[in-house]
Amino acid sequence: MASFSIDQTESRAFYQSLTKQLHEELDELEPTLIQTRRTLHQKPEISGEEKETSQLICNTLREIGLEPRLMNNDVGVVADMTLGTPTEDAPLIAIRADIDALRITDLKEVDYCSHNPGVGHLCGHDAHTSIALGVALAAGRVKELFQSEWPGQGLRLRFIFQPAEEICMGARWMVEQGALEGVSAIIGLHMDPEIQAGTANIRYGVMTAFCDEVHFEIHGRGGHAARPHHGNDPITTAAQLISSLYQNLPRSIDSRMPAVFTIGQISSGLAPNVIPEIAELKGSLRSTNDQAREVLHDRIQNIASGVAQSTNTRIEVLFKSPLPAVVNDKTISAALEQASIDVLGLEQVGLIDLPSMGGEDFSIYLQHVPGSMLRLGCARPDQKTVFLHSPYFDIDERVLKIGSRILLQAALLLSLNPQLIQKGN
C-alpha cells in the first residue's frame, strides 16, 4: 500500500469529521441513487445520442444550485462546484463518469430492464453516472460544515459526464470542448463484476492496454467458383493471412509483455458460387508497452506484405482509432487507495497485479492531466458472476453510495495536500 499523508493536524481532523458526515448523508441518499440508476438503466442511449441522459443529469445538478453546461449536440455535461473557501493553490479535481450504453439486448428479468430494444446499460455506465451524481448531492449537503465548523477549508470539484466511451470518442470530444481547462487532477472508477460489492482494487501504473483497430483490404481477382484457376481468391488469402498473423505475432515480441491480436470481423462475397474481388478483415491489437506496440505494427505490415506476395494479391493495411493505455498516476492512485480503505477497511482493498487488455478512453484525459481510475467491486454475493457486456449484467446497488464516498473522499484528500499532485508520476 502507498500511503497518502495529510500533514496538518487540523486538516486530518477536518477530513475525519467530514467523512463521518458523508457516511450519514449517503445513507440517506441511497434510495435516490438507486432510483436514478434504475431510471438510467431503463432508458439507455447509445454513444453520441445520450440526450435524455444528459438532460436528466442537468436537471439533477440544477436542483442543488449548480449551473451545468450541456456540451455540443446536447450530449455530455460539465459542472463546477465549490465548497467552503478554497485557498489560492487549491486544486480543481475532476470526477469523470461515462454515460453511454451498448448495442446489446438487455435480457434480465427485472423491473428496471431496458425499455430501449437492442440497447442496454451492460457495462455499468448507469452506475458510474449515478455515483458521480451522488458525489454532487452529498457534497451539496455538507456545504454548511465548511462554513460553520471549518471556515479555512475548501474544495473545488468539476463533474465531467462524458458520452461515447464505448466508441472511444467521447473523451476526445470533452477535451476539445474545454472540459479539462484549469483541472489539476482527474479521478474515476469502473464497475468490476469479478469482485464482490464492498471491495475495491487499485492499480499503480499501466491499467489498460493500448488499443488499435487494424483493417485489412485484400484485393484479388473475381471469377466462377467452379474455375478458381481463372481468378485469384481473396478469401483463401484471408485465411492464410489470419493463420500467419495468429502464428507469428505472439513470437515477435518478448513473451513477458502482454499483447493480443484478434480478428473479429470478416466480410467478402455476395454469392456462394462467385469468387469475389475483395475480402475485408477487421481486428483489434492490444498491447501494454510502446516498444512492443511499434514492433507489432511493423510485423503486421511485414506479414501482410509477405502473404500478398506469395498469393499474388494486394493487401492494404490500415491502423485506426488508436487509444492510449490508462496509466494511473502514483500519487492520485494513493489517494484513491486511502479513500477506499477509509470507506471499506484495509482487508477489502486490493492491488491489481497485471494490466487489463481492455481499453478505456479515460486515457485521453491522462494525456493532459494526472489522474487515476479504480475498480469497484459490484458482484452480488448470492449470484453467479456475470461479466461486463453480457446481456444479463447487473450490479449490487450498494456500490452506488460506496463509490460516491470513495470518489469524494479521494478528491478531499487531494485538495488537502495539493502539492503532492505535481509529484505523482
**Domain match, 251 and 196 both:** no
Tell me: is residue 121 an annotated ligand-binding position: no
What digits encode the pLDDT tens for the residues 178-235? 999 999 999 999 999 999 999 999 999 999 999 999 999 999 999 999 999 999 999 9
Cell 451539496 belongs to which residue?
Answer: 140
The confidence score (pLDDT) of residue 425 equals 42
**Domain match, 229 and 203 both:** no
The confidence score (pLDDT) of residue 365 equals 98
Which one is predicted more confidently, 9 or 229?
229
- DSSP-derived pairing of the beta strands 200-202 and 349-351: parallel
Asked if the structure places residue 266 within a domain, the reply is yes
Tell me: is residue 211 an annotated ligand-binding position: no
**Domain match, 54 and 202 both:** yes
pLDDT (mean) for 343-366: 96
Q: Is the pLDDT of residue 422 over 70?
A: no
- DSSP-derived pairing of the beta strands 327-328 and 278-287: unpaired
Q: Is the pLDDT of residue 282 over 90?
A: yes
Q: Which of 115-124, 194-203, 285-294, 363-372 has the lowest mean pLDDT?
A: 285-294
The confidence score (pLDDT) of residue 418 equals 84
**Domain match, 114 and 232 both:** no
Asked if the structure places residue 352 within a domain, the reply is yes
- CATH number at 399 reads 3.40.630.10
Q: Is the pLDDT of residue 2 over 80?
A: no
**Domain match, 330 and 312 both:** no
Amino acid at 215: H
Tell me: is residue 168 an annotated ligand-binding position: no
The confidence score (pLDDT) of residue 3 equals 66
Question: What integer best gives the mean pLDDT of the chain?
Answer: 94
Tell me: is residue 115 an annotated ligand-binding position: no
The confidence score (pLDDT) of residue 1 equals 57
What is the number of domains present in the chain?
2
Asked if the structure places residue 51 within a domain, the reply is yes
Q: Is the pLDDT of residue 77 over 70?
A: yes
C-alpha cell at 78: 460539465
**Domain match, 266 and 336 both:** no
**Domain match, 73 and 187 both:** yes
The residue from 300, 321, 342 where one domain ends is 321
**Domain match, 174 and 74 both:** yes
> What range defines the domain where residue 281 resides?
210-321
Predicted confidence band of residue 73 (pLDDT cuts 50, 70, 90): very high
Which one is predicted more confidently, 371 or 416?
371
Burial 203-237 (b: 16+ CB within 10 A, else e): bbebbbbbbbbbebebebeebeeeeeeebbbbbbb
Predicted confidence band of residue 302 (pLDDT cuts 50, 70, 90): very high
Asked if the structure places residue 56 within a domain, the reply is yes
The residue from 321, 355, 374 where one domain ends is 321
**Domain match, 242 and 179 both:** no
**Domain match, 195 and 285 both:** no
- CATH number at 221 reads 3.30.70.360
Q: Is the pLDDT of residue 423 over 60?
A: no
* Helix residue ranges, H only, 290-393: 290-311, 330-344, 362-365
**Domain match, 280 and 336 both:** no
Cell 486538516 belongs to which residue?
Answer: 11
The confidence score (pLDDT) of residue 261 equals 97
Q: Which residues pair with 79 in a beta bridge?
A: 159
Which one is predicted more confidently, 417 or 279?
279
Return the percentage of the chain with pLDDT > 90, whole number: 86
The pairs formed by 298-305 with CB atoms below 8 angstroms and a separation of 24 or more are 299/248, 299/249, 299/252, 300/214, 300/245, 300/249, 300/261, 303/241, 303/244, 303/245, 303/248, 303/249, 304/216, 304/241
Tell me: is residue 176 an annotated ligand-binding position: no
**Domain match, 308 and 399 both:** no
The residue from 298, 321, 344 where one domain ends is 321
